[in-house]
Structure 1
Amino acid sequence: MTAALAPDTRAWLTAQGFAPAADAVWLEALTHGSFNGSGSADAADYQRLEFLGDRVLGLSVAAWLFRAGDAPEGKLSQRLNALVSGATCARIARSIGLPPHIRLGKQARDDGGSDSDKILGDVMEALIGACFIEHGFEAAQTLIYRLWASELEGDVGKSKHPKSALQEWAAGNRRMTPLYEVVDRSGPDHAARFTVRVSVRNVGAAEATASSKGEAEKLAAKAFLEQFG
C-alpha cells in the first residue's frame, strides 16, 4: 500500500502555505535516509528535492536582494550566503514547527536528528523543492518571501562575516593568516558536532563547536576577535 501523509502533517503543511496535493512528493521531502533504512521503503529520501529547493531558494533570494537596493556585488553575495545558509534554513524550519513532521529512523530520532541544523535545513529546502514541483516557481517564490520576511528585512548577512573580519584584522596587524583546524568531531553523520580551533601565530587561539564545520569556523573566528581583536 502506498503511504499517505499523516492527517496532522497535511494540516500543518496546509497551514504553512505549502498547499499539498499529491502525497508522494511531500512524503519524499520529509523523509530522511534513515527512515527507509529502518525497514520502510514507501518513499525516497529528500536529497533530490533538497538539491532543487536549494536552487529555487537561492534564485528567489538573489532576485529580492537585487531589487531591494543598489548594493555592490560583494555585499549582495554576503547577504545571499547568510540568508540561504543551513543555519538560516534551520531557524525558519523551527519557527514554523517542522521538527515533529520529519520522518526519521528510530536511531536517528533518538540521536536528536529532528533538532539537527543539517537535517532541518535540508528538509526546509526539500519542501521548497516540493512546492516548486507541485505549484511552480512563482508560488515557491511567494512562499519563500513570506517565510523569510523577517530575515530579508532584518540584518542577516549585513555585518561582515567573522572569518572575513579576522582575515582583515590579521592582515592589518601584520600577522600570519589565521589557521583553522578541526580538533574534534563527534556524533553520528546526521547529527555531527565539529570543534574548530582558529589560531594566529604569536597571538593566540580560540575554539568553538557547532553542527557544521563552516559554522564552527565562523564561531571560532568570532570568539578569537572578541578575545584578541
Structure 2
Amino acid sequence: MEHVKGKVVIISGAGSGLGKETALAFAKAGANLVICGRNYAKLEQVESLITSQYNVAVLPIRADVSSESDVKMLVQAALAKFQKINVLINNAAVFQQYPLIDSPLDSWEYQIHNNATSVFLMMRECIPIMRNQKSGHIINITSGLVREGAAGFGAYAASKAAIEALTYSVQDEEHKNGIHVHVFNPGVMKTNLANIGDDPANVAPYVVALAEVHSTGERRVIQLEDFQLARD
C-alpha cells in the first residue's frame, strides 16, 4: 500500500465542508498540501488550523478551478513550491436548484462549467506532471444523484454524471502511465450544499484511504460501503 506521508496533495474547494476536512485528514497523515478555493480568507483559516496541529507545508491559493488561466497558475505555483504533485482531489462544486422547466440556461451552464469543466481542466494540467513522475493519484467526487436523480437537481446530477464518464475515460488512458484514477461518492453530508447527512469530518479519512489504493481499472463509483466491507 502506498502511504501519503510526504506526498503533495492538491485539494479544490478546500475552504469548507469536505474539502476542508479532507485537507485536515491528509495533514494528519503527513501530506503536504495545496489548498485552493475562491475565498482566500477561508483558506487562510484552514492553513492556520493545519499548521497549528501538524508539521506539514501548506500552500493556500485563491483560484477559480473553472478558469483555465487560474488552473494553470495554481498548478505552476504548486510545482514551483513542491517540485511534484502526487495526489489531486477534485472536490469543488456548486449547486442551484431549479425544476428543468424553470431553469435558466445560465444556471445549467454555471453548474456544468464549475462542476465538470473544472475537473477536466485540473486533470489536463496535472496529468503531464504525473506522467513525468510515472506516478500519481486522482480522486474525483461524485454524487448518488447521478443514479437516483431528484427534483430540482437536474443540472447538478448531470454535471456529476459527466465527471464519472470523464473519470473512466482518463482511467483507461492513464493506467499505463502509473496514474490511478478513482471516482468517489461520499454520500449525503452536512455542507454548504446540504443541511442533512453525515459530518464531512467522518468522511474525509476515507478519501485519504482511497489515495492509498491502486486502481484496478474497474469502471465503477467507489462508495463508503466499500471501505466498511473491506474492514469486515
* Larger fraction in helix: 1
- Would you say same fold, with TM above 0.5? no
Structure having the higher strand fraction is: 2
Pick 1 or 2: higher relative contact order, CA cutoff 8 A, min separation 6.
Answer: 2
Relative to the length of structure 1, the TM-score reads 0.26
What TM-score, normalized to structure 2? 0.26
Higher Rg: 1
